[in-house]
Amino acid sequence: MKNKFLLPVLIMIIMLPISTSSQQNQVCLDCHAEAGMTMDKNGKEISITVKKSVLNASAHSKLKCVDCHEGFNPDDIPHKEMIQPVNCKKCHSAPLEKHLFHPQIVQANGYSGSPDVNCKGCHGTHEVMTKTSPTSPTHFANSTNYCGKCHEKEKKQHVKSDHFVEIQHHNPNAPTCIYCHTQKVTANHKLSKIDLKKNQEQLCLTCHLNDKTHPTQFSKTLIDYDNSVHGMAIKGGNVKAAICTDCHGVHDLEKSKSPNSKISKTNVSYVCGQCHKDIAIEYKNSVHGIALDAGVDEAPTCTYCHGEHNINPVIDVPVKMFTNNMIHPEAAVKTQMIHCVKCHSDEEMMKKFGLQTFMKAHEFLPALGKHNETVRCIDCHSSYEPHTHGHDLLPPENVIKKCEQCHSKNSALMAKLYKHEKSQSREKYGFINGTILSDAYVVGTTRNVLLDSILIGLFGLVIVGIIVHFFMRWYFNKGK
């Protein structure tokens, strides 16, 4: 019999706080649930109606009204002589930990000030809901509209982004406004520019390096990002170095296939041109830039040669393409010719645009293999004006083809070829040999290993003679 009455007693004990809370709230709701109930506050009429259904569905449904509205006596009207606004910080004592996107909230008292430092301004009053509730304005699927109440410009940009598309598809890994801005990525945090850029970079990499569910060819290249030109520069403290947001945008991130995307093929040169201005101008005036503007999708742009994230990658080219064109693979990689060979050895592509293949176009050259080892494509095919960066590629009819135009003392290509061959000679033959012989090589002489050895031997003998002469003078002077 004892067990028969034990269960109802336990249920009554458990339900007692809830019943007490509900009963106490009902006393308040007997009046405040009435529609159209208002009061005068500072000369302004405000609503004080509270819907019971809204309150019961809120995150505070288990609280008593007086837990928030302290010191109120429902039997007295007015309920309190000096009514103070609800101070959320009495319970939520450390809001800054979760609200890094609004660092000024730490100075606020929780109820006054502008909406961005006012709990009520963002979370509401009696309708406060947890962020896990699908109908909550702070739920990740609703965050763009929620933050967009104040940040209208950013909202207009974000709704066009690929991140927003993923949010609409309920991808739990899609970054929301709050997810990104809970990191120290804005000027509000008063960090140095280089620290801000490093934080922004790491925020993007955190997702895109670890996204196992949506791997792409572009996310794979991020593995080598730290060792790229840009990655090394930002690690070295170069505040001008490009990071993810400099190229992809901040809130308006779109995939490259979108014509409005900053990284669409037609816009890539403009994005790179933010830093590399002179090179971007050269490219836009080159045969490739003109072709791209004319709608030729096959025309190469910056990322084709330099890569997306790993800057300066080696693209995959069949070995047959090298052997058929008398090109040594290592030389092609070293001189960056590999990117030219990839397209200009493709017979179908060249036929489509009425161009000759690499081999056919260079039949007039004697010792083609030797030329391919020592001369870059851009040495002959880019502009001959001074200060060229090699991106202003000329049409075939404007390229120098006569031997004397290269192999002469006052050659138009002298500056480019000399500079290139000089650096190559130093790497292959050493500083002294490369420096002495580069000029002679450019004007048409041929290297002779035996002659090189004899000259170096004679030079060595002279040095030895000087040393011996000095030693003998020192020795005999010492004897006297």
H or E stretch covering 44: strand 44-47
Q: In whole angstroms, what is the distance from residue 306 CA to residue 286 CA?
A: 17
What SS3 state is found at 41? strand
Q: In whole angstroms, what is the distance from residue 272 CA to residue 278 CA?
A: 10
Q: Name the more confident of 80 and 348.
A: 348
- For residues 177-202, one letter each, b for 16 or more C-beta atoms within 10 angstroms of the residue's C-beta and e for the rest, the string is bbbbbeebbbeeeeeeebebbbbbbe
Task: Give the pLDDT of residue 461.
Answer: 94
Express as a percent the part of the chain with pLDDT over 90: 9
Q: What confidence tens digit (pLDDT) does each residue in 390-406 have? A: 788 888 888 877 666 67
Q: Name, of 74-83, 96-105, 187-196, the range with top average pLDDT.
A: 187-196
**Domain-wise residue ranges, the chain:** 1-84, 375-447, 448-480
Task: Give the pLDDT of residue 1.
Answer: 40
Question: CA of 207: how far to CAs of 175, 243, 249, 309, 366, in Å?
Answer: 9, 15, 16, 15, 54
User: Is 379 a residue whose pLDDT tops 90?
Assistant: no
Name residues whose C-beta falls within 8 Å of residue 3's C-beta, 6 or more positions apart in sequence: none
User: Is 296 a residue whose pLDDT tops 60?
Assistant: yes
Other Cβ atoms closer than 10 A to 265: 18
Express as a percent the part of the chain with pLDDT over 70: 76
Give residue 12's pLDDT band: very low, low, confident or very high (50, 70, 90): very low
**DSSP line for 149-160:** TT-HHHHHHHTT
Task: Give the pLDDT of residue 11.
Answer: 44
Task: Give the pLDDT of residue 5.
Answer: 45
Other Cβ atoms closer than 10 A to 34: 11
Task: Give the pLDDT of residue 292.
Answer: 92
Give residue 182's pLDDT band: very low, low, confident or very high (50, 70, 90): confident
Window from 10-24, 50-64, 85-99, 212-226 with minimum mean pLDDT: 10-24
Window from 15-24, 164-173, 459-468 with minimum mean pLDDT: 15-24
Q: In whole angstroms, what is the distance from residue 87 CA to residue 441 CA?
A: 83
Task: Give the pLDDT of residue 122.
Answer: 80
Window from 27-36, 272-281, 310-319 with minimum mean pLDDT: 310-319
Q: Name the more confident of 411 and 15.
A: 411
pTM tops 0.85: no
Task: Give the pLDDT of residue 439.
Answer: 46
Q: Which two tokens stand for residue 461?
A: 């003998």
Burial class (CB in 10 A: 0-12, 13-18, 19+), 442: buried
Window from 15-19, 177-181, 365-369, 384-388 with minimum mean pLDDT: 15-19
